[in-house]
């Protein structure tokens, strides 16, 4: 009989405690294992000393949520042998006992209580206490707030002079704030690690501490020297880079001209030499035409015109030589009437001028040779000197 009663009590299976995070969701479920007919499944919540219905399921009425739980809860599974509901947007007021009941005819009801534990934990904070309790000592405080009470401890890579002090503060909403204060020597460098253990997770924060005032000053000096050295290094590198850039630029300017550039410069010299003498040739031809016109006019007046002989030169040009004119009446004075072409001195000029039928003076030929010489020198001169010239 006693074993039968134990079997009846174990007919409903579920977890006794379910933990959920504040603001999250909680899933509550129950399973009925006896092979009997179940008429209805009911969910209740304990408020004070009594339980109140929050949800029911039966084949005749279906799923029903009661009161404020119409928005707070919903069925995940609804059968006569298994039932599950979900509570959402959890608050601390949702923490309580919940009971699932299977109504069986004619045996009565079978139930199981489930405790919902709503938990929370804050971020882990570490602060340096500015009020030194003793000269030459420093203090660090690691704290967190949670429900249930968080466990905070220190880990250090050196020997701690004193044991940590732990303080608890109870808050009105059921949470507890824990502060762990650690005091250590300011003459040693420590790497501190604050550890937090809580059902909602484990957290850790590493703290790097300096050696004290003298150590801080040394650290500042080392950092300043390092920054200055880095600055001067960057400055030197930039200067070297600028010098190399200018050097390469000067080298590019000092490279002799390419064959194409020399050919173009020679062509330019020839064109300038041609333009230097072309105007004079045209002027002399025009003057010859005027002389011919004047001779024709003189012939009409009865004067003896000047005859001109044109002789072909060996290079295909034409050389103009004055023909002998009739003697003027002798007056005892030399005649001033002379052919204008006889005043042109017979000086060997450039081939181009000879082909044009005109000879240049020695001064013009010398100037032309000087100009050609300067152009030839500039042809092979480095670009930077050529620009300066």
Of 174, 192, 209, the domain-final residue = 209
What is the rounded distance in angstroms from the CA atom of residue 94 to the CA atom of residue 86? 12
pTM over 0.75: no
**The residue to which tokens 């050389």 are assigned:** 319
Beta-strand runs (E) in the chain: 12-13, 17-21, 26-32, 38-47, 50-58, 62-65, 73-78, 82-87, 96-104, 108-121, 125-129, 137-147, 151-156, 165-170, 176-185, 191-198, 201-208, 308-312, 318-322
94 and 133 part of one domain: no
380 and 284 part of one domain: yes
377 and 267 part of one domain: yes
111 and 13 part of one domain: yes
198 and 224 part of one domain: no
228 and 297 part of one domain: no
134 and 188 part of one domain: yes
**What is the per-residue pLDDT across 99-110, written as a single tens digit (0 to 9) for each?**
999 999 888 899
**What is the per-residue pLDDT across 123-178, written as a single tens digit (0 to 9) for each?**
999 987 655 555 677 888 999 999 999 999 998 766 666 788 999 999 999 999 99
State the total domains in the chain.
4
**What is the per-residue pLDDT across 112-138, written as a single tens digit (0 to 9) for each?**
999 999 999 999 999 876 555 556 778
CATH number at residue 15: 2.60.40.10
Residue 257: the pLDDT is 59
270 and 356 part of one domain: yes
Range of the domain at 241: 215-253
Greatest alpha-carbon pair distance for the chain in Å reads 185
79 and 20 part of one domain: yes
55 and 154 part of one domain: no
372 and 268 part of one domain: yes
267 and 384 part of one domain: yes
pLDDT confidence tier of residue 389, bands split at 50, 70 and 90:
very low
- Name 100's bridge partners: 43, 112
């Amino acid at each position: 009989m006693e074993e039968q009663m134990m079997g009846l009590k174990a007919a409903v299976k579920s977890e006794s405690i379910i933990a959920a995070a504040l603001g999250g969701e909680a899933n509550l479920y129950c399973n009925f294992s006896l092979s009997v007919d179940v008429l209805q499944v009911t969910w209740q919540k304990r408020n004070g000393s009594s339980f109140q219905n929050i949800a029911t399921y039966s084949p005749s009425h279906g799923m029903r949520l009661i009161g404020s739980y119409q928005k707070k809860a919903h069925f995940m599974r609804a059968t006569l042998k298994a039932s599950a509901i979900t509570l959402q947007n959890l608050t601390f007021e949702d923490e309580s006992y919940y009971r699932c009941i299977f109504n069986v005819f004619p045996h009565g009801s079978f139930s199981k209580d489930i405790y919902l534990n709503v938990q929370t934990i804050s971020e882990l904070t570490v602060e340096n206490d500015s009020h030194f309790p003793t000269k030459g000592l420093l203090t660090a405080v690691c704290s967190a707030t949670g429900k249930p009470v968080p466990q905070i401890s220190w880990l250090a890579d050196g020997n701690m002079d004193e044991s940590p002090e732990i303080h608890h503060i109870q808050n009105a909403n059921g949470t507890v704030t824990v502060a762990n204060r650690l005091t250590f020597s300011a003459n040693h460098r420590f790497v501190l690690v604050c550890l937090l253990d809580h059902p909602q997770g484990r957290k850790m924060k590493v703290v790097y501490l300096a050696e004290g005032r003298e150590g801080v000053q040394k650290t500042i000096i080392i950092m300043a020297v390092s920054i200055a050295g880095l600055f001067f290094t960057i400055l030197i590198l930039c200067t070297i880079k600028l010098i190399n850039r200018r050097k390469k630029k000067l080298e590019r300017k000092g490279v002799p001209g390419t064959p194409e550039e020399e050919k173009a410069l020679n062509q330019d010299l020839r064109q300038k030499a041609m333009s230097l003498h072309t105007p004079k040739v045209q002027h002399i031809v025009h003057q010859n035409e005027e002389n011919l016109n004047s001779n024709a006019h003189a012939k009409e007046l009865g004067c003896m015109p000047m005859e001109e002989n044109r002789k072909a030169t060996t290079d295909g040009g034409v050389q103009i030589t004055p023909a002998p004119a009739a003697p003027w009446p002798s007056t005892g004075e030399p005649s001033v009437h002379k052919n204008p072409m006889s005043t042109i001195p017979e000086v060997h000029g450039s081939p181009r001028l000879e082909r044009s039928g005109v000879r240049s003076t020695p001064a013009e030929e010398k100037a032309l040779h000087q100009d050609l010489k300067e152009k030839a020198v500039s042809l092979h001169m480095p670009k930077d000197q050529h620009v300066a010239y």
